[in-house]
Amino acid sequence: MSIELKNANTFPATSINEGEGDFYRQLVESGLSLLSIENNLQKLLQEVVALALTVTKADAGSLYVIQGKEIEFTVARNLTLEERRIPMSLEHFRLPINNNTICGYVAGTGESLFIDDANNLDAHLPFRFNRSFDIKFNYTSQSMLALPLTNAAGQVVGVLQLINHRLNGLFVPFPRYLLSPVRIMARKAGMALYNAILSDNLKKSQYETVYRLSIAAEARDKSTGMHVHRVSEYARILANAMGQPEEFQELIHAAAPLHDVGKIGITDSILQKPGSLTPEEREVMKTHTTLGFSMLNDSESPLLKLGASIALTHHEKWDGTGYPHGLQGESIPLEGRLIALADVFDALVSRRCYKAAMPIDQIKALITNEKGRHFDPVLTEKFLDSWDEINRTAEQMKD
Amino acid sequence: MSIELKNANTFPATSINEGEGDFYRQLVESGLSLLSIENNLQKLLQEVVALALTVTKADAGSLYVIQGKEIEFTVARNLTLEERRIPMSLEHFRLPINNNTICGYVAGTGESLFIDDANNLDAHLPFRFNRSFDIKFNYTSQSMLALPLTNAAGQVVGVLQLINHRLNGLFVPFPRYLLSPVRIMARKAGMALYNAILSDNLKKSQYETVYRLSIAAEARDKSTGMHVHRVSEYARILANAMGQPEEFQELIHAAAPLHDVGKIGITDSILQKPGSLTPEEREVMKTHTTLGFSMLNDSESPLLKLGASIALTHHEKWDGTGYPHGLQGESIPLEGRLIALADVFDALVSRRCYKAAMPIDQIKALITNEKGRHFDPVLTEKFLDSWDEINRTAEQMKD
């Protein structure tokens, strides 16, 4: 399992030794309870590295996450560079899982690795130390401790690389008694990481449904383009202005592109008609609301359910004169009232194939005039309060 | 935290006591390593209940999984009924998380609960025992041990209810020293369960993208209907006959409905034209392959990537006369060769709006004749070997 390493010690992933390092162990335990409740992947990664630096008295640390047959560099800290106020902006590069690199070796073998001097690695070792970071930032990596983060099934889900153990202002080798406490940390952090990765994938996967449906809708109606993305942004700004929780802001931002998804089912002769529609054609066009609703509403995903509600109600009007159901006031769900306003604003502000954009003062007057008629009056106020931010967004995201 | 329970003891979720129950503890540890690698939710639930029955010497057990503000009954075992060969088919009912039921109480409080006689619960207890199972199956539940399964963050993710501790052929109360070992089990099982739930949700969510896109495509082309689902089934049968691993069989079954997704972007006048297409129209129709590919291929999901490949290559022919790229032989990916055959077969066997179904012998002759021309010769052989199964499927799933 373990190869012979001169000037570097590996420790196969066996049970944790009792004994030394009790102080560190307590430190680990107190930090761990925080980790396990963090489901936001990016925050979790940062917390794991921060905790690891404290526990191991390392000057620097990086975290890699397994992505198929590679490991992806995610977050890094470097206390020396932070003290010197040198910003590190690092690309999310990937390394193959093999013995050529230190972290690739740890990911592949599941072993923990102590290295006393990275720049004097014995020639027979399979891996070499990559000095590109040190050169770029004028830093000297010397001692290292690299260890695998594993999930409950013992699978490696990440690699934590710690650099330069600090003792009385000097960089010295990492003491071997750290192995036991960092392993406890690595196991718990690995489980938390695994959960956060799964949660993150789940979220991405739900967003993907929206994204693919939007692409499908665009394949039919090229005029859409950036429209759905702008409406998403206005929706988030408005939800925020309404004091809605961050979760709802994020959800409505993600679901907004679905408002016209029902148009996929509208025949070309109506959907792409250059002139104005006949009354009969207009009735067919109106069915994009109920059609969109029926395409999404049987989903168990809160995101798609919100999308269904938006699709159904974004043409209702506050005074009850909208469609498809002529709902009035607060019987129109908030998401519908919100997208109604965002959608109309974007149609006015952007140039569509069938009409030119309207001057901005005229748009403001029109929206103000529709307060309590087409639009929710409170929402209209918030919209006008956010006028500058919304217009900046419209400008930045124009077709 | 804990209410006063006469004839029932609760134990708040604190740290695990050392001491008694060491034999059970060893038993738990040996069973647990198996649990943590099981990512299939249904199998995992069954293994947790089976392990719990062994560890606690319970006659029966049920597992509930948290679903929002409810708990959902999932799996149950009952050794007495199994010995009497009485089948239990139980609905997946749900209970609200509140103090009215035993498992709802455990889910809400996170406490473990020992009950010595479920039919003699003290009147002041908030919950009542629901006798409907006992009445239906002529069984007598007496002693109980109900405990929460928690994830790494300590959140309750499930409730395990164990019934009737067996001692020398009698049903007696569960000994209190079981608390420590079952808690270890509940913690580890809870973490494994949480991961399995997340994995399961992720899979469902990826399938949902395919499903919603299929619905969108159907909104345009009503003739599709059951066609995509039949092609999925043939694809699974063929992948199995080709000796492909189960994972691929499942993936191609899930991705097959995407083969014509590019048709969403084909104009109605061509897509829904009743007669045959002009050469120019046929060229436009052919772009549904590249269009479908570009709608899906930038996804990170292996499922959608497979769908992209299928969309692109399912009109290629083994002899190189297909489209869009005129690929030949094994340069056409397996999934494309496989769906080509499944798609053509289904078009022949089912009645489409523009032509009547072909007699079955004629279809068989046609496919045999296309071996090595339109279709991969090995695949054609496997198809003919699976002829009966494929035709049964076609019959069962007809429009």
Domain finish residue from A181, A197, A213: A197
Rounded to the nearest angstrom, the minimum Cα separation between A324 and chain B is: 19
**Chain A stretch 261-290, residues whose beta carbon is closer than 8 A to a beta carbon of chain B:** 261-262, 264-265, 267-269
Whether residues A321 and A387 fall in one domain: yes
Q: In terms of domains, do B226 and B191 share one?
A: no
Which of B37, B212, B284 would best serve as a mutation to test chain A binding (most A beta carbons within 10 A)? B212
In this structure, the number of other CB atoms found within 10 A of the CB of residue A101 comes to 23
- List the single residue in B with minimal CA-CA distance to A216: B264
Verify whether the Cβ–Cβ distance A154 to B198 is below 8 Å: no
Determine the pLDDT at residue A6.
45
- Can you give the pLDDT of all 399 residues of chain B as single tens digits? 333 344 556 555 433 343 434 555 554 554 554 455 556 788 888 989 999 999 899 999 999 999 888 999 999 999 999 999 988 877 888 999 999 999 999 999 999 999 999 999 988 889 989 898 899 999 999 999 999 999 877 889 999 999 999 999 899 999 999 988 888 888 888 888 888 888 888 888 888 888 888 888 877 876 666 888 899 999 999 999 999 999 899 999 999 999 999 999 898 889 888 889 999 999 999 999 999 999 999 888 889 999 999 999 999 999 999 999 999 999 999 999 999 999 999 989 886 555 667 888 999 999 999 999 999 999 999 999 999 999 999 999 887
CB contact, 8 Å: A209 with chain B?
yes
Domain presence at residue A213: no
Please give the C-alpha separations between residue A116 and each of A11, A127, A132, B170, B197, in angstroms, as whole numbers: 15, 14, 19, 64, 42
The number of angstroms, rounded, from the C-alpha of B252 to the middle of its chain's C-alpha atoms is: 15
Mutate to test the interface with A, among B205, B269, B288, B303 (most CBs of A within 10 A): B205
**Quick check: helix, strand or coil at residue B148?**
strand
Q: Comparing C-alpha atoms, which of A195, A196, A66 is closest to residue B193?
A: A195
CB contact (8 A) between residue B213 and residue A208: no
B2: in domain:
no
Residues of B in contact with A152 (CB under 8 A): 36, 188, 191-192, 195
Treating both helix axes as pointing N-terminal to C-terminal, what angle do B387-396 and B227-241 enclose, rounded to 10 degrees?
160
- In angstroms, the separation between the Cα of residue A194 and the nearest Cα of chain B is 8
Q: How far apart are CA A60 and CA A83, in angstroms?
A: 12
Chain B residues inside the 8 Å CB shell of A300? 204
Alpha carbons within 13 A on the beta-carbon side of A284: 14
State the nearest Cα–Cα gap between A264 and chain B, in angstroms.
Answer: 7
Q: Do B183 and B269 sit in the same domain of this protein?
A: no
Distance CA A309, CA A286 (A): 15
Q: Is residue B214 part of a domain?
A: no
Together in a domain, B49 and B192:
yes
Q: What pLDDT does A217 receive? A: 83
Distance from CA of B221 to the nearest CA of A (A): 9
**Are residues A157 and A245 located together in one domain of the fold?**
no
β pairing state of A156-167 and B112-115: unpaired
A130 and A226 co-located in one domain: no
Catalytic residues of A: 263
Tens digits of pLDDT across chain A (399 residues)? 333 344 556 555 433 343 444 555 554 454 554 455 556 788 888 989 999 999 899 999 999 999 888 999 999 999 999 999 988 877 888 999 999 999 999 999 999 999 999 999 888 889 989 898 899 999 999 999 999 999 877 889 999 999 999 999 899 999 999 988 888 888 888 888 888 888 888 888 888 888 888 888 877 876 666 888 899 999 999 999 999 999 899 999 999 999 999 999 898 889 888 889 999 999 999 999 999 999 999 888 889 999 999 999 999 999 999 999 999 999 999 999 999 999 999 989 886 555 667 888 999 999 999 999 999 999 999 999 999 999 999 999 887
Residues of B in contact with A188 (CB under 8 A): 152
Strand partners, A165: A58, A172
Domain-embedded: residue A324 = yes
Please indicate, yes or no, if residue A3 is contained in any of the structural domains: no
CB atoms within 10 A of CB B352: 14
Q: How far is A15 from chain B (nearest CA, A)?
A: 13
Q: Which residue has the tokens 């134990």?
A: B11
Residue B329 lies in a domain: yes
Q: What pLDDT, on a 0 to 100 scale, did the predictor assign at position A353? A: 53
CA-based torsion, B204, B210, B213, B214: positive or negative: negative
Residues spanned by the domain of A43? 8-197
| Residues across chain A | 399
Q: CB of B182 within 8 A of CB of B149? A: no
Handedness of CA A110, A111, A116, A121 (dihedral sign): negative
CB contact (8 A) between residue A291 and residue B37: no
Task: Give me the pLDDT at residue B95, please.
Answer: 92
Cβ-Cβ contacts under 8 Å for A243 (sequence gap 6 or more): none
For B158, the 3-state DSSP assignment is strand
Residue with tokens 């039949």: B230
Are A204 and B201 spatial neighbours (Cβ–Cβ below 8 Å)?
A: no
Return phi, psi of residue A255, to 5°.
Answer: -85, -20
Name the residue facing A209 among B154, B212, B268 (closest C-beta): B212
d(CA B291, CA B261): 8
CB contacts < 8 A, A to B, total 108
Shared domain check, A172 and A255: no
Give B 327-386 residues with CB within 8 A of chain A. Answer: none
Q: How many domains does chain A have?
A: 2
Classify B38 as helix, strand or coil: coil
- Candidates A37, A44, A202, partner chain B, best to mutate (most B CBs within 10 A): A202
Alpha-carbon span A31 to A184, nearest angstrom: 11
Contacts of B374 (CB under 8 A, 6+ apart): B317, B318, B319, B322, B340, B344
Angle at A374 (CA atoms; ends A390, A264), nearest 5 degrees? 75
Q: Which helix (H) or strand (E) holds B214?
A: helix B179-220
Q: Is the peptide bond before B324 cis (omega within 30 degrees of 0)?
A: yes
Q: Report helix, strand or coil for B162.
A: strand
Q: How far apart are alpha carbons A252 and A258 in whole angstroms?
A: 10
d(CA A106, CA B189): 28
Per-residue exposure over B180-196, b if at least 16 CB sit within 10 Å of its own CB, e if not: bbbbbbbbbbbbbbbbb
Q: Which residues of A touch B198 (CB under 8 A)?
A: 195, 198-199, 202
- Answer whether A213 sits within 8 Å of B208, measured CB to CB: no
* Contact between B304 and A208 using a beta-carbon 8 Å cutoff: yes
Note whether A151 and A236 are same-domain residues.
no
What's the distance, Cα to Cα, between the start and end of chain A in Å? 58
CA contacts within 13 A on the Cβ side of B174: 36
Q: Are residues B186 and B277 in the same domain?
A: no
Give the pLDDT score at A81.
93
CATH code for the domain of A31: 3.30.450.40
**Looking at residue B155, what is its pLDDT?**
87
Task: Choose the mutation target among B200, B208, B218, B263 for the interface with A, i.e. most A CBs under 10 Å.
Answer: B208
Q: Do B36 and A153 touch (CB under 8 A)?
A: yes
Residues counted in chain B: 399
Residues A176 and A255 occupy one common structural domain: no
Query: What is the token pair recorded at A185?
Result: 């940390």
Cα-Cα-Cα-Cα dihedral sign, residues A336, A338, A339, A341: positive
Are residues B37 and A153, on separate chains, in Cβ contact within 8 Å? yes
pLDDT value at position A53? 94
Report CB contact under 8 Å: B206, A205. yes
A residues 301-320 lying closer than 8 A (beta carbon) to B: 301, 304
Structure tokens at A90: 């690092």
Q: How far apart are CA A256 and CA A239, in angstroms?
A: 12
Q: What dihedral angle (degrees, nearest 10) is formed by the CA atoms of A11, A17, A23, A25?
A: 80
Q: Do B216 and A264 touch (CB under 8 A)?
A: yes
A282 and A186 in a common domain:
no
* Domain annotation covers residue A340: yes
Cα torsion for B75, B76, B79, B85, to the nearest 10°?
-80
A265 token code pair = 């089912």
**Do residues A191 and A277 share a domain?**
no
> CB contact, 8 Å: A153 with chain B?
yes
List pLDDT tens digits, range B212-259.
888 888 778 766 668 888 999 999 999 999 999 998 999 999 999 999
Which residue of chain B comes nearest to A308, CA vs CA? Answer: B212
CB atoms B216 and A261 under 8 Å: yes
Using the 3D structure, point to which of A138, A163, A197 is the last residue of a domain: A197
Q: pLDDT per residue over B98-150, tens digit each?
A: 999 999 999 999 999 999 999 999 888 899 898 988 999 999 999 999 999 99
Distance from CA of A300 to the nearest CA of B (A): 9
Residue A142: inside a domain: yes
CA distance B222 to chain A (A): 10
Query: Which of B191, B215, B295 has its CB closest to that of A152?
Result: B191
The DSSP code for B76 is: E
CATH of the domain at B333: 1.10.3210.10
Q: Which tokens belong to B128?
A: 């009542």
Quick one: tokens of B367? 């496919």
User: Residue A209 is nearest to which of B209, B219, B269, comparing CB atoms?
Assistant: B209
Chain A residues with CB under 8 Å of B215 CB are 295
- Whether residue B265 and residue A219 make contact (CB cut-off 8 A), yes or no, is yes
Q: In B, which residues are within 8 Å of A199 by CB distance? A: 198
